[in-house]
Structure 1
Amino acid sequence: MSLDRVADLRRWEDSGAHWCVLTRTVHSLTIALLRCDGGEEVDRFTSTDPRLLDFVGARTSSEDPERPV
């Protein structure tokens, strides 16, 4: 079963929590999920999903504006 990390990040943001990119390569991202106060790391994951790479784009965190579609 494949995880939908884009949906995961959208739900995380919709709940008021934050995320940040810890590591970025050409083909993967490692993302930390942070508490809603922007503080403590709750979880992290690494993904090579091209949809996630496209969704995150050049952003370094959920605080950066999404690029226009």
Structure 2
Amino acid sequence: MATPEPVSVLQRWSDSGGTWRVIARGPATVTVALLTCTGEEVERVGLAAGPELLEYLAEAEDQN
């Protein structure tokens, strides 16, 4: 089974009513907390810090 693209993971989570928050950034990975619609943390995921993800995160930060 192929690993889903990092941006797809965050978009699917948001589309399902959840939210997410960046909690750490490293040279190769970004750690994101996946939160329920009530703000409870479900899990933390490490996502590959590729250009597409970094651009998506920058756009999301600009909207907040």
TM-score by length of 2: 0.71
- Structure of higher RCO (CA pairs closer than 8 Å, 6+ residues apart): 1
Structure with the higher fraction of residues in helix conformation? 2
Change over 3 Å in CA distance of 1:46–1:7 after alignment to 2: closer
Q: Which aligned runs of 4 or more in structure 1 are off by greater than 3 angstroms?
A: 25-28
8 Å Cα contact 2:34-2:42 kept in structure 1: yes
Structure with the higher fraction of residues in strand conformation? 2
Change over 3 Å in CA distance of 1:29–1:43 after alignment to 2: closer
- Alignment correspondent of 1:40: 41
Tell me how large the CA RMSD over aligned residues is.
2.4
Distance in 1 (CA, whole Å) between partners of 2:27 and 2:53 is: 12
Distance in 2 (CA, whole Å) between partners of 1:4 and 1:49 is: 10
- Equivalent positions of 1:1-69 (< 5 A) are 1=2, 3-25=4-26, 28-57=29-58, 59=61, 65=63
Provide the identity percentage: 34
TM-score by length of 1: 0.67
Amino acid at match of 1:6: V
Structure 2 unaligned blocks of 5 or more: none
